[in-house]
């Protein structure tokens, strides 16, 4: 059974929590103890309906206390497919959470309040989702019950969103009118929306094609931890733990260790302390190499036939997340999985206007701006362009002094020849 990972986007109060709750509740994916709690709370308030948003309230409480990671996930299964829901908040100040969640999603549900229509946050989240490589979109026009299930309202919002889809060249957008509160067209077809003849949201999620891995062929493995017990039993043992980011690794593969460029052979692959002949992304593995070559945390091991970019200069799209504006010359750290190197922003090339999606010149990036920049790093980084490999084409920028996350970055260009030429850059959204 395959897995579909999707994220719910949209502004605050568009009904994301209620929609997730309705999906879980109507698909019989809520455990009996949680159902009992919901019923208890409904009885206490003398309400006729359970509060579906309570199904995600535990996640919200954790977020407010700052004790959880940037995004939270929910899991459920139907007879046709497994699902992983990424729940990201709608507030503009939490845009970083949305970026984090969308980076692992196959599909984005963009919620729009039928009373509000398409707003700036709709445009921002759609732009970010498209930048992050999502190709499947659902325009979920929610709260249609509050406008009398009016088809004209729905069609106007669809027309407004089609302009966005056209500007961003989104090829796969499905619009569904619904009311998460009353369950219209979420899991079951609505009897209130007889003018709509398409699938319910769940029917669409169960049938939409799951994209293949962004890069199933090019093997990438970055060392997260060097294992050297140096005990009496294992005085010379040395191996390298990490997760295969893409592709397949086999015992006997002749590999090159970057950035040193030294060659050796994979002698052993272990998964859960058991030797295996091969392993494929996204498995976590321990590799042992035939030769005692220089390998450290952040090194990348790839077959000699693979050719990742090993660069000290790259061009990237950034979503700036810091209150202090970014200006050229800023020194910071690039964290690319386990690799952390000093870097500086040499040039801010352009900024994307959220209203028009047009690129415009700028000399700084403010909070939540989406900009194209050039970076120089103190040491070589082994990366891929994001459009070629989502796993190895993304990074974050970190403040040297405070350790705070400053920006999410997507590698846009790495070709050394590119940086010697003054050629026009592509629009920021057309990756």
Question: Angle at the Cα of 429 (from 427 to 430), degrees rounded to 5?
Answer: 70
DSSP for 280-337 reads ETT-EEEEEESS-----TT-EEEETT---EEEEEEEEEEEE--SSPEETT-EEEEEET
CB 116, CB 369: distance < 8 Å: no
The predicted pLDDT at position 68 comes to: 36
Asked if the bond preceding 282 is cis, omega within 30° of 0, the reply is yes
The predicted pLDDT at position 69 comes to: 39
155: CB partners within 8 A, 6+ apart:
none
Coil/strand/helix, residue 254: strand
57: CB partners within 8 A, 6+ apart:
17
DSSP for 104-132 reads T-SEEEEEEETTT-S-HHHHHHHHHHHHT
Q: Which of 250, 196, 201 is nearest to 221 (CA)?
A: 250
319: CB partners within 8 A, 6+ apart:
95, 96, 99, 128, 368, 369, 370, 407, 408
The predicted pLDDT at position 381 comes to: 93
Tokens 């120089």, residue located: 376
The predicted pLDDT at position 65 comes to: 46
CB 204, CB 138: distance < 8 Å: yes
- 10-residue averages of pLDDT along the chain (431 residues): 88 82 86 74 70 63 45 83 82 70 88 93 90 92 95 97 93 95 93 94 93 70 92 85 94 94 95 95 94 92 92 93 93 94 94 88 91 94 91 92 92 74 44 34
Residues comprising the chain, all counted:
431
- DSSP state at residue 49: S
Asked if the bond preceding 221 is cis, omega within 30° of 0, the reply is no
DSSP for 193-234 reads -TT--S--HHHHHHHSPPPPPS-SSS-EEB--EEE----SS-
The predicted pLDDT at position 428 comes to: 40
């Amino acid at each position: 059974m395959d897995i579909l990972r999707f994220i719910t986007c949209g502004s605050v109060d568009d009904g994301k929590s209620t929609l997730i709750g309705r999906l879980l509740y109507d698909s019989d994916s809520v455990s009996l103890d949680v159902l009992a709690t919901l019923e208890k709370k409904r009885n206490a308030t003398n309400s006729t309906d359970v509060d579906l948003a309570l199904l995600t309230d535990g996640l919200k409480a954790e977020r407010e206390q700052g004790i959880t990671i940037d995004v939270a996930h929910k899991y459920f299964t139907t007879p046709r497919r497994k699902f992983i829901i990424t729940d990201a908040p709608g507030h503009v100040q939490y845009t970083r959470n949305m970026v984090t969640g969308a980076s692992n999603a196959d599909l984005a549900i963009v919620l729009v309040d039928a009373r509000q229509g398409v707003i700036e946050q709709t445009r921002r989240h759609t732009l970010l989702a498209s930048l992050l490589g999502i190709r499947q979109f659902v325009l979920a026009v929610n709260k249609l019950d509050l406008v009398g299930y009016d088809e004209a309202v729905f069609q106007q919002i669809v027309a407004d969103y089609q302009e966005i889809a056209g500007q961003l060249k989104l090829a796969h957008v499905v619009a569904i009118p619904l009311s998460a509160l009353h369950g219209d067209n979420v899991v079951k077809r609505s009897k209130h929306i007889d003018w709509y003849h398409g699938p319910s949201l769940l029917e669409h999620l169960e049938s939409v094609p799951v994209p293949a891995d962004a890069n199933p062929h090019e093997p990438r493995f970055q060392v997260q931890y060097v294992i050297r017990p140096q005990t009496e039993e294992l005085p010379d043992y040395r191996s390298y733990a990490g997760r295969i980011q893409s592709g397949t690794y086999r015992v006997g593969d002749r590999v090159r260790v970057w950035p040193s460029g030294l060659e050796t052979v994979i002698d052993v692959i272990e998964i859960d302390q058991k030797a295996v002949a091969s392993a494929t992304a996204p498995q976590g593995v321990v590799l042992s190499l035939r030769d005692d070559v220089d390998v450290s945390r952040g090194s990348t091991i790839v077959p000699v036939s693979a050719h990742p970019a090993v660069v000290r200069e790259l061009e990237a799209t950034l979503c700036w997340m810091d209150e202090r504006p970014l200006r050229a010359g800023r020194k910071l750290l690039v964290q690319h999985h386990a690799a952390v190197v000093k870097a500086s922003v040499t040039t801010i090339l352009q900024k994307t206007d959220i209203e028009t999606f047009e690129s415009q010149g700028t000399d700084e990036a403010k909070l939540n701006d989406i900009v194209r920049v050039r970076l120089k790093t103190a040491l070589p980084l082994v990366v891929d362009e994001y459009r070629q490999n989502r796993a190895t084409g993304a990074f974050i920028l970190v403040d040297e002094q405070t350790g705070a996350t400053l920006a999410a970055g997507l590698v846009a260009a790495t070709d050394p020849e590119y940086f010697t030429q003054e050629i026009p850059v592509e629009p920021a959204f057309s990756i």
